[in-house]
């Protein structure tokens, strides 16, 4: 999985910690696709989210795949 670069305002050591946490969370999704909660902004059980510190990892659950659709800061609106 490739992640876009984080903001240059984020200290590199914190950025690395956040990326490792996001990767760890997403690796569990193959075995536990419903682990996250339903995204409150969507009326669709297939869109779910997990949290990595102050970041929301939003993903979609399909019959044969889990797709990460966004990683956004928690204060940012969808």
The DSSP symbol for 8 reads T
Q: Cite the beta strand spans of 2-63 per DSSP E.
A: 37-38, 47-52, 55-61
Total residues found in the chain within this entry: 78
What is the per-residue pLDDT across 24-54, written as a single tens digit (0 to 9) for each? 999 999 899 999 999 999 999 999 999 999 9
Structural domains of the chain, with CATH: 12-73 (3.30.2310.20)
Q: Could you tell me whether strands 37-38 and 47-52 are parallel, antiparallel, or unpaired per DSSP bridges?
A: antiparallel
pTM metric for this prediction: 0.81
Q: Look at 15 and 25; give whichever has higher pLDDT.
A: 25
Query: Residue 60: left (phi > 0), alpha (psi -120 to 50), or beta?
Result: beta
Q: Is the pLDDT of residue 3 over 80?
A: no
């Amino acid at each position: 999985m490739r992640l876009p670069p984080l903001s240059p305002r984020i200290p590199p050591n914190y950025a690395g910690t956040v990326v490792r946490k996001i990767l760890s969370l997403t690796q569990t999704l193959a075995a536990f696709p419903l682990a996250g909660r339903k995204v409150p902004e969507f009326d669709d059980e297939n869109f779910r989210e997990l949290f990595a510190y102050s970041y929301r990892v939003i993903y979609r659950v399909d019959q044969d795949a889990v797709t990460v659709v966004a990683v956004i800061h928690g204060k940012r609106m969808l």
